[in-house]
Amino acid sequence: MVQDSPRDRAAATGHGLIQSLLRTLETGPGVYRMLDADSRVLYVGKARNLRARVAAYARPSGHSPRIARMISETAAMMFLTTATETEALLLEQNLIKQLKPRYNVLLRDDKSFPNILVAKGHPFPQIKKHRGRKAETGSYYGPFASAGAVNRTLNQLQKVFLLRNCSDSTFAGRTRPCLLHQIRRCSAPCCGLISEADYAASVADAERFLQGRSTAVQERLAAEMQAAAEAMEFERAAALRDRIRALTAVQSVQGINPRGVEEADIVALHMEGGQACVQVFFIRAHQNWGNRDFYPRLGGAEAAGEVLQAFLAQFYDDRDPPRLILLSDPVDDPDLLGDLLSSRAGRKVVLAVPQRGEKADLVAQALRNARESLGRRMSESATQARLLEGLAEAFGLDAPPRRIEVYDNSHIMGTDAVGAMIVAGPEGLMKSHYRKYTIRSADLAPGDDFAMMREVLTRRFQRLLKEDPDRQGEGWPDLVLIDGGAGQVAAAAGVLADLGIDDIALAGVAKGIDRDAGKEEFHRPGRPAFALNRTDPVLYFVQRLRDEAHRFAIGAHRAKRAKAVSATPLDEIPGVGAARKRALLAHFGSAKAVARAGIEDLKAAPGISEALARTIHDHFHAGG
């Protein structure tokens, strides 16, 4: 049941309004939302007993400064009852993720973690890095804290087990071993240099290692090395020796490998100065697979248990929790949170706060990392805050910008043109907010940078106006920087004016007459150009932003150009995938020859049926 309290129910806000709602509330579990006078959601909470929980807000005193401020801003409330408290907790986390209320603890980094996938949909399984939904058939091992940790482990595993990492289509097209076989990183199953049974044994060994059962693998390799040496097969013995060394290297780079913990996430929280850092260490198969730090946004003076509970509920929203989660502090509702995580995992998940032994040492290590990481971040944030204050002063802004968007274009004589946007704020570069734009206008003159910039800005701000016309979200910039001079700024200002946007600061960054870095000129609409002192930290800051935008634009352009180089007219034909494309090109020699071929000639190519031959012929002879 949903109850919506209209603002005209009572002129009062805060305690008075909340008190007036109590008589209509039920005593069962549910979720409540607190809204301000502009109907923006301030806070989402769950309760075992809605009436009792909301009644606590109706008291005029006894609240922390954060809760008192939130209550004073509350002009309306919404309620949704649920069948169980677990359902309420699940709904609460969904709403927090969707609405991002100001006074809730928010996990802002929701990037997925990489895994190692041993794909099982092929007679010779491929080992590779995987990120995202686990839809492909195979065995998944992880999570790893970073792509670098996965790549290092894969590199060593290739040395040890010689498993292929090429795609199935590449595998099918090989006629001779690739370079990886030459440098002893692959057993070349594509060319029949290893039997399916022997390859399957290597796959089984790799999986045993990833499951933490590496002793048996090392013993078998050592026995094989000894046998090869006794048979005077010294080259094979040396290869086995190298594989054993690589296997040892994998184990050594994993860091601290706990003997008594097979599978766990270690979650430690440190709070200081109104900020928080959560360190998560991933222990799998008795190995430390890395760690990641998170900086949840706090709503105010929350207790450690409240922050950890909110973090865990959001962190495992789309991730599989392990069987054991070791915590630095007890959460507010351990049984409820444990039930929620167990239901998500489909098995028992235990939350524990260890007090002694190896598990306590692991938590202490994570807590020390959290404390040091937060200290570094606070130092960097202080420096960033001073730079933003200086930027506001230099560009005549009313306040330090919370969001800066920097735009640049990249192309070669107008071809493969892309636009790029990077974003920075009080916490530095916000890479998850970066965007690239493929220039779509077909009538642009080659190299018309002004028109490209107009297209990018038009698409960007039209979307903002559509998605957040009231500007209640965090997507609207306070300052827009353009890589260019007065002409680029005039083009950008024209776009904003056409869209009715007149309150966003705009500036262009142009190099001086001699194009020397350090002599940049800054252009503002309707104002004379100006420069900053060559030793001004604000100048260095703007240069870094400009260079980052340029780097991102160049990368996007190169990726598009590389894709275009490998494209052929065959890519547009329905039913012609990578394998048939290779077969056609190998049979006819070029895409032009395919286009000129008749139906009978097309049918002669491997894998081309009469129906597909007619489809290909019709594609190139639509007018005939």
pLDDT tens, residue by residue, 492-529: 999 999 999 888 999 999 876 655 556 788 999 988 88
Of the listed ranges 193-197, 210-214, 476-480, the one predicted with least confidence: 210-214
Q: Give residue 85's Cα distance to chain centre.
A: 31
What is the average per-residue pLDDT within 248-252? 56
| 311 touches 105 (CB < 8 A) | yes
pLDDT at residue 564 is higher than 70: no
In a domain, 160, yes or no: yes
What 3-state DSSP class applies to 158? helix
Q: Examine the domain organization and report whether 439 and 548 are in the same domain.
A: yes
Q: Examine the domain organization and report whether 310 and 366 are in the same domain.
A: yes
Of the pLDDT bands very low, low, confident and very high (cuts 50, 70, 90), residue 1 is: very low
| 88 touches 53 (CB < 8 A) | no
What 3-state DSSP class applies to 471? coil
User: Cα–Cα–Cα angle for 414, 418, 422, nearest 5°?
Assistant: 140
- CA neighbor of 7 nearest in space, from 74, 54, 71, 55: 74
Gap between the Cα atoms of 78 and 90, Å rounded: 17
**Letter for the amino acid at 84?**
T
pLDDT score recorded for residue 563: 63
- CA neighbor of 119 nearest in space, from 132, 134, 137, 133: 137
Q: Examine the domain organization and report whether 234 and 139 are in the same domain.
A: yes
pLDDT score recorded for residue 110: 60
In a domain, 451, yes or no: yes
pLDDT score recorded for residue 496: 92
What is the per-residue pLDDT across 103-149, written as a single tens digit (0 to 9) for each? 888 876 666 788 899 998 899 999 999 888 788 889 888 788 778 77
Q: Examine the domain organization and report whether 440 and 558 are in the same domain.
A: yes
615-621 contacts, C-beta under 8 A, 24 or more apart: 615/573, 615/574, 615/575, 616/570, 616/573, 616/576, 616/584, 619/572, 619/573, 620/569, 620/594, 620/595, 620/596
pLDDT score recorded for residue 188: 92
Q: Where are any strands of DSSP class E within 241-286?
A: 263-272, 275-284
Q: Examine the domain organization and report whether 530 and 420 are in the same domain.
A: yes
pLDDT score recorded for residue 9: 43
pLDDT score recorded for residue 595: 83
pLDDT at residue 488 is higher than 60: yes
What is the per-residue pLDDT across 364-402, written as a single tens digit (0 to 9) for each? 989 998 998 888 888 777 888 899 999 999 998 989 999
Last residue of a domain, one of 38, 69, 99: 99
What 3-state DSSP class applies to 462? helix
Of the pLDDT bands very low, low, confident and very high (cuts 50, 70, 90), residue 431 is: confident
Q: Examine the domain organization and report whether 6 and 53 are in the same domain.
A: yes
Q: Examine the domain organization and report whether 427 and 456 are in the same domain.
A: yes
Last residue of a domain, one of 375, 393, 412: 375
**Letter for the amino acid at 396?**
G
In a domain, 425, yes or no: yes
Last residue of a domain, one of 253, 273, 299: 253
Of the listed ranges 257-266, 342-351, 384-393, the one predicted with least confidence: 257-266
In a domain, 384, yes or no: no
What is the per-residue pLDDT across 525-562, written as a single tens digit (0 to 9) for each? 988 888 888 888 888 889 889 989 988 888 876 776 66
pLDDT at residue 472 is higher than 60: yes
Of the pLDDT bands very low, low, confident and very high (cuts 50, 70, 90), residue 234 is: confident
Instruction: Tell me the pLDDT of the chain averaged across its residues.
Output: 83
What the block records as the tokens of 506 is 């705009």
| 139 touches 118 (CB < 8 A) | yes
Q: Examine the domain organization and report whether 417 and 526 are in the same domain.
A: yes
Gap between the Cα atoms of 422 and 524, Å rounded: 20
Q: Examine the domain organization and report whether 247 and 271 are in the same domain.
A: no
What is the per-residue pLDDT across 591-613, written as a single tens digit (0 to 9) for each? 788 888 888 888 888 888 888 88
pLDDT score recorded for residue 325: 95
Q: Examine the domain organization and report whether 137 and 27 are in the same domain.
A: no
Q: Examine the domain organization and report whether 547 and 425 are in the same domain.
A: yes
Q: Examine the domain organization and report whether 412 and 480 are in the same domain.
A: yes
Gap between the Cα atoms of 409 and 436, Å rounded: 9
Look up the domain containing 319 and give its range: 263-375
